[in-house]
Amino acid sequence: MDKIIEEYKNTLQMKFFSQTTINAYMADIKKFLEFLPEKNLEIIPKEIHNYRKYLKNNYKVSTINRKVTTLNNFFKSLGIDVRLKAEKVHRMSIKDDFLTEREYKRLLKFAINEKIRITMVVLAHTGIRVSELKYIHVENLKTGIVEIENKGKIRIIILSKNLINILKKYCGERNIKSGSIIEVSRIYIHNSLKQSAANARGGLKKSKVHAHAFRHLFAVQFLKKNNNIAALADILGHSSLETTRIYTSLNKRQFQEMLEDII
**Residues 55, 173 share a domain:** no
Q: Report pLDDT for 225.
A: 78
Q: Report pLDDT for 249.
A: 57
- Give the end of a domain, one of 44, 78, 112: 78
Q: Report pLDDT for 50.
A: 84
- Give the end of a domain, one of 63, 78, 93: 78
**Residues 117, 26 share a domain:** no
> Which of 260, 258, 262 lies closest to 224, judged by CA?
258
**Residues 165, 41 share a domain:** no
Question: At 185, which CATH number?
Answer: 1.10.443.10
Question: At 19, which CATH number?
Answer: 1.10.150.130
Q: Report pLDDT for 95.
A: 52
DSSP state of 207: G
Amino acid making up residue 234? D
**Residues 238, 117 share a domain:** yes
Residue 56 within any structural domain of the chain: yes
**Residues 244, 138 share a domain:** yes
Q: Report pLDDT for 48.
A: 79
Q: Report pLDDT for 262.
A: 43
**Residues 71, 105 share a domain:** no
**Residues 186, 117 share a domain:** yes
**Residues 64, 112 share a domain:** no
Q: What is the pLDDT along the chain (263 residues), one digit of tens a residue?
A: 678 888 888 888 888 788 888 888 899 988 888 887 764 556 667 777 788 888 887 777 778 888 888 888 888 888 877 777 776 654 444 455 678 888 999 999 999 999 999 999 999 999 888 989 999 999 999 999 999 887 777 888 889 999 999 999 999 999 999 999 999 998 999 999 999 999 987 767 777 888 888 988 888 888 777 767 777 777 777 666 665 666 665 444 554 554 454 43
Range of the domain at 202: 101-260
Q: Report pLDDT for 150.
A: 75
> Which of 145, 132, 144 lies closest to 186, judged by CA?
132
> Which of 32, 260, 236 lies closest to 153, judged by CA?
236
Residue 11 within any structural domain of the chain: yes
- Give the end of a domain, one of 13, 46, 78: 78
Torsions phi, psi for 110 (to 5 deg): -110, 20
- Number of domains making up the chain: 2
Residue 94 within any structural domain of the chain: no
Find all residues with CB under 8 Å of 100, minimum gap 6, and list them.
217, 251, 253, 254
Q: Report pLDDT for 178.
A: 95
Residue 61 within any structural domain of the chain: yes
**Residues 138, 26 share a domain:** no
Rounded Cα distance, 141 and 193, in Å: 26
Residue 83 within any structural domain of the chain: no
**Residues 256, 176 share a domain:** yes
**Residues 110, 54 share a domain:** no
The C-alpha torsion from 104 through 108 and 112 to 116, rounded to 10°, is: 80
Residue 92 within any structural domain of the chain: no
Residue 86 within any structural domain of the chain: no
Rounded Cα distance, 82 and 250, in Å: 32
The reported pTM is 0.57
**Residues 233, 147 share a domain:** yes
